[in-house]
Structure 1
Amino acid sequence: GPAPRLFEAPTVIRYEAGQVLAPHYDANRSAGTEDANRGGQTLATLLVYLNDVERGGLTRFGKLPPGTVSPEGEGSLTVKPRKGDALLFFPADGNGNFDERVEHEGCPAVDEKWIARIWRHADRVPPPFGLSESALSKL
């Protein structure tokens, strides 16, 4: 049969001026508590920046050292959104073990910011939009 779908459908997210996303993890500390209906533990996150953001809106990893020192990033790893750039990181390892270091946040947006997010899970992800397996196979 076909290979199982391990990726969620892309989610497009818009951040308005002043909007933030508080520090968080994309994986759970215990893979057993992850919602099994979503495909189990989140193993990878892909963020694609859909527009240039001149001011604010950095993605910040507060527990990782900076690649280069940035006044906006306060000494931690930060990524400035640029249209077409992609950021791939791993909230858990291949065995589903949670990685404390990849706590991240969306810093305050001064300019509007658009991203697309795709999560890769450890187990099969159900079809999107409530479709059945048979309906999906006919698309």
Structure 2
Amino acid sequence: MNIKDEGTRPIRSEQDIVMARQLCRKLAQDCGLRLVAQTKLVTAVSELARNTLIHGGGGDMHWLIIDEGMRQGLRVVFSDQGPGIPDMDLAMTDGWTSGNGLGLGLTGSKRLVNEFEIATTPGEGTRISITQWS
């Protein structure tokens, strides 16, 4: 895997969520992702940025444009130092919600992208990595 470009944006406010979506849409276009793949990625970014702010108390979004063989992709990593997720099995169950949402944030995001990884430690925070390939 080769990293062609990368950067970091803070997620500390509602405006940061908007900026994260806009940045990822532009990066997805730059990577040559088709419109449907762009839309899926931006939807997942919006959900995960909101989770980072609301449940993680804010954090960072790190992005990488990557090459792997003949394909190019965009990897977006959200990290926070929040309370973590105490029950991953429950959190990854469709329909379960820790708030007033629809309970589709994590599982919906996972279905929207090509790769989804999550690591969490209660009391220490959460790190979620998503990748969309062209």
- TM-score class, shorter-chain normalisation, is 0.3 to 0.5
Larger Rg: 1
Q: Counting strand residues as a fraction of each chain, which structure ranks higher?
A: 2
Structure 2 length normalisation: TM-score?
0.34
**TM-score in terms of structure 1 length:** 0.33
Larger RCO of the pair (alpha carbons < 8 Å, separation 6+)? 1
Structure (1/2) with the larger helix percentage: 2
